[in-house]
Amino acid sequence: MGSAERLSVGIIGASGYGGVQLVRLLIEHPLVEITYLGGSGSVGQTFGDLYPHLGHAVNLPIEDLEPEEIAKRAKVVFLSLPNGIAASLSPRLLAAGCKVLDLSADYRFPDLQVYEAWYKGTPRTDHEVAKTAVYGLPELYRDRIATANLVGCAGCYPTASLLALLPLLKQGLVDNSSIIIDAKSGTSGGGRQPKTNLLLAEAEGTLGAYAIANHRHTPEIEQICSDIAGQKVLVQFTPHLIPMVRGILSTVYAKMRDPGLTKDDLLTIYRSFYRTSKWVKVLPRGIYPQTKWACGTNLCYLGLEVDERTGRIIVVSAIDNLMKGQAAQALQCLNIMMGWEETTGLPQLAFYP
Amino acid sequence: MGSAERLSVGIIGASGYGGVQLVRLLIEHPLVEITYLGGSGSVGQTFGDLYPHLGHAVNLPIEDLEPEEIAKRAKVVFLSLPNGIAASLSPRLLAAGCKVLDLSADYRFPDLQVYEAWYKGTPRTDHEVAKTAVYGLPELYRDRIATANLVGCAGCYPTASLLALLPLLKQGLVDNSSIIIDAKSGTSGGGRQPKTNLLLAEAEGTLGAYAIANHRHTPEIEQICSDIAGQKVLVQFTPHLIPMVRGILSTVYAKMRDPGLTKDDLLTIYRSFYRTSKWVKVLPRGIYPQTKWACGTNLCYLGLEVDERTGRIIVVSAIDNLMKGQAAQALQCLNIMMGWEETTGLPQLAFYP
Amino acid sequence: MGSAERLSVGIIGASGYGGVQLVRLLIEHPLVEITYLGGSGSVGQTFGDLYPHLGHAVNLPIEDLEPEEIAKRAKVVFLSLPNGIAASLSPRLLAAGCKVLDLSADYRFPDLQVYEAWYKGTPRTDHEVAKTAVYGLPELYRDRIATANLVGCAGCYPTASLLALLPLLKQGLVDNSSIIIDAKSGTSGGGRQPKTNLLLAEAEGTLGAYAIANHRHTPEIEQICSDIAGQKVLVQFTPHLIPMVRGILSTVYAKMRDPGLTKDDLLTIYRSFYRTSKWVKVLPRGIYPQTKWACGTNLCYLGLEVDERTGRIIVVSAIDNLMKGQAAQALQCLNIMMGWEETTGLPQLAFYP
Amino acid sequence: MGSAERLSVGIIGASGYGGVQLVRLLIEHPLVEITYLGGSGSVGQTFGDLYPHLGHAVNLPIEDLEPEEIAKRAKVVFLSLPNGIAASLSPRLLAAGCKVLDLSADYRFPDLQVYEAWYKGTPRTDHEVAKTAVYGLPELYRDRIATANLVGCAGCYPTASLLALLPLLKQGLVDNSSIIIDAKSGTSGGGRQPKTNLLLAEAEGTLGAYAIANHRHTPEIEQICSDIAGQKVLVQFTPHLIPMVRGILSTVYAKMRDPGLTKDDLLTIYRSFYRTSKWVKVLPRGIYPQTKWACGTNLCYLGLEVDERTGRIIVVSAIDNLMKGQAAQALQCLNIMMGWEETTGLPQLAFYP
């Protein structure tokens, strides 16, 4: 296929970790072509100045154009920006005819009151646009994504947590008030901003919990859980910072409604639920996932356990926080929006070790 | 104090991680003297052959003597051996007049049926001796340890988990059927045996759960919880392997009985409970511990949180798995057994970073 | 292309790190098909038993067939085995009509006396076969590889070191007696065998040199340097173990013959030397490579410096030890042997971070 | 000893990594008492606000007093500040009667022209004071330190490199124009400032050289080498960043003058040179140091090798960059200045692993 026939895509926020993943994935995607790289702090530099190892493959400058100008260059725009900025760019991009995939939290909540309650800042004025956004978790909302012009891509922790929880909620297998999500993330989730607590000298060789009982991914998880369960669901969500670069592991606990449920029942239910989802791999009985198995891929691995002594189900999910938890999942959404095969251009096999 | 007046101590199993911690701590302890280093695989070598960096400070050979011979050299013997071996050595050491501190699981269960159910292997024949053993968690059983001749030192995960749970159980603050312990450990907990899954190439840059619903520290935790609560308590215990050398973090969840309990109430209760325990530090409101804060010390840091939305208490505890979780706690027990100040010879300040 | 038209390839030694890289790369290579996985210790298991995360993509059993049987299944065989074993398998595979790519040291030395002097063990009896082997460093011996039936793939340290040195030696720019190679490798270079010194608990957070003045990659490097320089060259080679999984950095020092040589001269010479080598990237002035830039790819990055004060050239090279240093380079050789484009099926862009 | 009799010491720059080491060491030192903690950015906070895990042991506020006020509180002041600041504080502290130990580069050069050439910035006006400064490497300048009022403590790389080189230079064993120092450091050497390249996500799992041929520790090393050798010595110094928190390894290469020198000769020479230096440990033949062996201590381990093939000596030295390379060495200097035993209050045994 000649480049003239490829879909033109732009990235705003190309300098961060989400951006560099997107650039890498889009370069290797057979049906798209990068036509715009946007950034504010790094305007005037080339992408190779920011990431010398990729300079041989992409030589675009970082620009800072108005949305309407960007729309002349790109039919699809990925936004990989701090929370709050997409809300001002997206309406203009959409009006100019672009499809928009936003990697921030701005379009994950149809009810912007929830957003404003958890994400303090400037009040939102784009309620009409926000209502048109589809939550970018393809395993759940594949059909809606297919026809969307604006996708609010799922957060990293929510992706890992929801893929572990969805079959339980859908089938009504657990006491919905008993859900505890103990999540662990590599430090790249904190972004490429220099922060003292994310220095190697601080974060290596140690482990801690943070934002206990008030992390902003909590309402995002609850909103989708409630949608699936058909009732208001609250979850206990605790994130931890792990001394590694990439990866999220979510260990999910819930009380079974039917104490007679067996491991094999559970395996059957999960395999059935994810039968058409090529990116979710339900592991065999007794095998629990390592985050490294998913690193560099768009995969989510799930390990299942039933504890007969305590009457609980434990599900462990592993993803790469920057791939299935961010950039690769956004590209999976694009594949769906364009009617392409959902696996096009996305890595399926992790390097190991 | 001249070395003639120091307490003579021996270590059986000096070559492993527990052993090398003990050697280091005992060298720096002002009231003891190491007079015997035992091992089987490394007999004929000196300690400096095994650990060249300590060769300048300790030049004892590794020997493999009968317990009765050891007893002629050492008044106190630490056993740092795989599970199942202490059961055959301890009765003979005790009979020969030694005090024994066992770092394995052999003497943690007064009811050996529980031991035999979880630790498969040779049936135990030392029931009488086992009944005399005291569980080596000084913050709970200080008085009994003071008069014991045989201490079954607490496991690493149980130490971190119990110190987080004890005030809740003692005060009856939580629904005892709701306790979930999500624990995370550095890989040194797996010992110095070469195992493929503990290679740096395998374990670095990744994270996984293991032994879900059937880890052998579960009954150890439950036994003590039940003792304190005055009723049978089951806990959900899930260990994870973290890509770091040392440290355990336990994140403990439980449902509050009284939804009106506040964070300040909780802080007050914990500070009161640990008022006389110099090795437990309850952190100020809003501060959660890092495992690195405890590394190299005998300290346990506790961070407390109340989630009003969900009605749960979350307690996070951090220890060094090889110190408070193993060797240093054994030495703390020895200090108590000998009537010495509980902090004698034990490190109190972690290097940082 | 249908699988009937793909080249059938086998791997003997599929369970180690070299093997698992090969499996991953060959699965994604558009022109080959894996038809045999061999191993001794893991016969009876499937590949998915060894590497559960790849079970969804490859479901072949591990077998242990005679070379003649393997040759019925595979036109090309990769050997990823401990040193000394390929020497007995290769003659039989070649006789049965296979092309062989050996990742061990067995066929890196046309003069087997050098091999026997540095690799103690069983004397070699395959001198005739060894003479037909080509050294598998494509940037240097592309033409010979194209017509070879037996390739002795270059070692990891030699690949990184030689790519840094070749232009200097070819152009006679340095005093050949002044070459010092200070090399640093991640621990995956030690293989998937459980060894105490490669445990995470031992190897994390630390750094050391090993095999100073007697590492077995020394004669391999010297042999090729001597070939290029047209005179006997001795090098000082010191390997170090770095607390990371993958990657080799070689820092190479040599005394300039012409003190007037400038950085720009050097850049010009290197770029010219590697003009047709798509896998070698000479970095711009003042940029030095990170090993992470190469991880997961077949790339070698080179950074150059001239120190006018001391009259030395310093060249820093970075590769992924398991890719350009092992499996991917073997596949690069296969591409050349088959007359395919040298980049076919090989990753070119590292994930970052 | 009552605290009234202890030596009062202050630290300016207590919030960084040098400062926190000093605080920890001084708390545990039996003969001193911390009476002042200075900082600019963190005035108004307590030390426990900065380092919660040490809050239980030190509760001093961070202040920002004039030097004359500090001198009323402290007889000795440690300066742990960015380069260039000590030059303005030290003259006033000295004039007010304090002894000063500076951990920056400001007082390492008696010839301030060298300083100004390598450390660009404000020109220095304290030439008279600088001339009175003694270079704080006790193994070399013990006698001068004993009578100094101002010590310019040796840098981290220079300490590791010089301790490896000194016996060679003193005995004239090597060609002084052949010295190459390939040094490797953990990332804590970069300080506690948030810098993108020192983020865990950037610096973990990778390795690179930096400041090739122009690192500012080069003239510091050369100055001392020249002093010992009695002639101008230039060295090739290349630093590398290693994915670990602490530790420096220096691999030093030099051409032997006498090719008949044996390993045993070398061991004898080094042991003799360091006979009275309790903090330097020359390892047995064939043993090379790990940085972890030194971590948390004031020790320097040296491993020696002679390569008969190439006629070179290779010396490997390992230190903790924040201890022997910074804070602990400063305290070693203080011990000497006060006439105390050189080992007082300094850790001698590394925790392992």
Same domain, B142 and B161: no
Residue A246 contacts C, CB cutoff 8 Å: yes
d(CA A100, CA B200): 42
Region label for A228, one of left (φ > 0), alpha (ψ between -120 and 50) or beta (otherwise):
alpha
* CA-closest candidate to residue C28, choices C318, C337, C351, C343: C343
Q: Distance of CA D69 to CAs D66, D99, D117, Å?
A: 5, 14, 34
User: Residue B191 falls within a domain, yes or no?
Assistant: yes
User: Residue B194 falls within a domain, yes or no?
Assistant: yes
- Which domain, by its residues, includes B206? 157-319
d(CA C10, CA D162): 53
pLDDT in tens, A7-66: 999 999 999 999 999 999 999 999 999 999 999 889 999 999 999 999 999 989 999 999
* CA-closest candidate to residue D219, choices D79, D108, D87, D348: D108
User: Residue B344 falls within a domain, yes or no?
Assistant: no
C350/A281 CB distance under 8 A: no
Residue C215 contacts D, CB cutoff 8 Å: no
- φ, ψ (nearest 5 deg) of residue D49: -70, -35
Residues of chain C contacting A192 with CB distance shorter than 8 Å: 353
Say which CATH number the domain at D20 has.
Answer: 3.40.50.720
Is C2's pLDDT higher than 60?
Answer: no
Name the residue of chain B whose CA is nearest to C200's CA: B200
Report the domain count for chain B.
2
Residue D245 contacts B, CB cutoff 8 Å: yes
Name the residue of chain B whose CA is nearest to D279's CA: B56
Is D4's pLDDT higher than 70?
Answer: no
d(CA A313, CA A257): 10
Residue B170 contacts A, CB cutoff 8 Å: no
Residues in chain C: 353
Of B81 and C41, the one with more pLDDT: B81
Q: How far apart are the CA of C139 and the nearest CA of chain A, in angstroms?
A: 18
Same domain, C79 and C178: no
Residue B3 has what pLDDT? 57
Name the residue of chain B whose CA is nearest to D192's CA: B353
Residue B274 contacts D, CB cutoff 8 Å: no
Choose the closest CB to A53 out of C56, C204, C293: C293
- Global pTM exceeds 0.95: yes
Residues in chain D: 353
D352/B54 CB distance under 8 A: yes
Q: How many CB pairs under 8 A join B and C?
A: 66
- φ, ψ (nearest 5 deg) of residue B11: -125, 125
Nearby residues of D95 by Cβ (< 8 Å), 6 or more positions away: none
Burial class (CB in 10 A: 0-12, 13-18, 19+), B116: middle
User: Residue C247 falls within a domain, yes or no?
Assistant: yes
User: Residue A305 falls within a domain, yes or no?
Assistant: yes
Residues of chain C contacting B50 with CB distance shorter than 8 Å: none
Q: Average model confidence (pLDDT) for chain D?
A: 96
Residue A301 contacts C, CB cutoff 8 Å: yes
User: How many percent of chain D have pLDDT more than 70?
Assistant: 99
d(CA C318, CA C328): 15
Name the residue of chain C whose CA is nearest to B192's CA: C196
As a whole number, mean pLDDT of residues D209-219 equals 97
d(CA C237, CA C246): 20
Choose the closest CB to A24 out of C245, C299, C349: C349
Question: Is C300 tagged catalytic?
Answer: no
Residue B351 has what pLDDT? 85
Q: How many CB pairs under 8 A join A and B?
A: 148
d(CA A10, CA A72): 10
* CA-closest candidate to residue B26, choices B340, B346, B351: B346
D208/C305 CB distance under 8 A: no
In 3-state terms, what secondary structure has residue B179?
Answer: coil
Q: Which of these is catalytic: D156, D225, D295, D333?
A: D156
Residue B26 structure tokens: 């005992």
Same domain, D21 and D66: yes
Residue D245 has what pLDDT? 98
Residue A291 structure tokens: 């985050």
Same domain, A161 and A282: yes
Q: How do the pLDDT tens digits run along chain A, 353 residues long?
A: 455 689 999 999 999 999 999 999 999 999 999 999 999 889 999 999 999 999 999 989 999 999 999 999 999 999 999 999 999 999 999 999 999 999 999 999 999 999 999 998 888 999 999 999 999 999 999 999 999 999 999 999 999 999 999 999 999 999 999 999 999 999 999 999 999 999 999 999 999 999 999 999 999 999 999 999 999 999 999 999 999 999 999 999 999 999 899 999 999 999 999 999 999 999 999 999 999 999 999 999 999 999 999 999 999 999 999 999 999 999 999 999 999 999 999 999 998 99
pLDDT in tens, C264-283: 999 999 999 999 999 999 99
B179 with B233: CB under 8 angstroms? yes
Residue B337 has what pLDDT? 98
pLDDT in tens, B234-270: 999 999 999 999 999 999 999 999 989 999 999 999 9
Q: Cis link prior to C353 (omega < 30° from 0)?
A: yes
Same domain, D88 and D233: no
Residue A341 contacts B, CB cutoff 8 Å: no
Residue B41 has what pLDDT? 86
D145 with D95: CB under 8 angstroms? no
Choose the closest CB to C236 out of D295, D307, D318: D307
Residue C219 structure tokens: 């004669």
Residue D205 contacts A, CB cutoff 8 Å: yes
Residue B101 structure tokens: 């501190």
Residue B188 contacts D, CB cutoff 8 Å: yes
Same domain, C174 and C99: no
Same domain, D308 and D162: yes
Q: Which chains are within 8 Å of D by 3+ CB pairs?
A: A, B, C
Residue C47 contacts A, CB cutoff 8 Å: no
Name the residue of chain D whose CA is nearest to C318's CA: D208
As a whole number, mean pLDDT of residues C117-136 equals 93
Say which CATH number the domain at B234 has.
Answer: 3.30.360.10
Choose the closest CB to C199 out of B194, B205, B243: B194
Is D2's pLDDT higher than 60?
Answer: no
Same domain, B194 and B241: yes
Same domain, B35 and B143: yes
Nearby residues of B316 by Cβ (< 8 Å), 6 or more positions away: A208, A209, A212, B164, B249, B250, B251, B252, B288, B289, B302, B303, B305
- pLDDT grade for D293, boundaries at 50, 70 and 90: very high
Residue A203 contacts D, CB cutoff 8 Å: yes
Same domain, C137 and C182: no
Residue B40 has what pLDDT? 84
d(CA D244, CA A102): 35
Amino acid occupying residue D315: V
Residues of chain D contacting B51 with CB distance shorter than 8 Å: 352
Interface pTM (ipTM) of the complex? Answer: 0.97
Tokens 């938890």 label which residue? A325
Residues of chain D contacting A186 with CB distance shorter than 8 Å: 201
A29 with A345: CB under 8 angstroms? yes
Residue D121 has what pLDDT? 79
B200/C205 CB distance under 8 A: no
Residues of chain B contacting D348 with CB distance shorter than 8 Å: 57
Choose the closest CB to B245 out of C190, C200, C244: C200
Same domain, B126 and B205: no
User: Residue C260 falls within a domain, yes or no?
Assistant: yes
d(CA D249, CA D300): 10
D194/A196 CB distance under 8 A: yes
pLDDT in tens, C190-215: 999 999 999 999 999 999 999 999 99
* CA-closest candidate to residue B209, choices D61, A201, A316: A316
Residue D198 contacts A, CB cutoff 8 Å: yes
User: Residue C343 falls within a domain, yes or no?
Assistant: no
Q: What is the signed CA dihedral for D340, D343, D344, D350, rounded to 10 degrees? A: 170
For the four alpha carbons of D279, D280, D285 and D288, in that order, the dihedral sign comes to positive
Q: Average model confidence (pLDDT) for chain B?
A: 96
Choose the closest CB to D293 out of B53, B192, B204: B53
Name the residue of chain C whose CA is nearest to D320's CA: C206
Choose the closest CB to A296 out of C21, C52, C296: C296
DSSP track, D184-239: EE-GGGG-SS--GGGBHHHHTT--EE-STTT-THHHHHHHHHHHHHTS----EEEE
* CA-closest candidate to residue B35, choices B1, B17, B2, B12: B12
* DSSP H helical ranges for chain D: 17-28, 47-50, 67-73, 86-95, 112-118, 127-132, 138-146, 156-170, 200-203, 217-229, 263-273, 291-294, 327-337
d(CA C286, CA D210): 9
User: Residue B347 falls within a domain, yes or no?
Assistant: no
Nearby residues of A88 by Cβ (< 8 Å), 6 or more positions away: A126
Q: Which of these is catalytic: C156, C225, C295, C333?
A: C156
Residue B120 contacts D, CB cutoff 8 Å: no
As a whole number, mean pLDDT of residues B73-78 equals 98
Same domain, C72 and C214: no
Nearby residues of C288 by Cβ (< 8 Å), 6 or more positions away: C303, C305, C316, D208, D209, D210, D212
Name the residue of chain D whose CA is nearest to B299's CA: D53
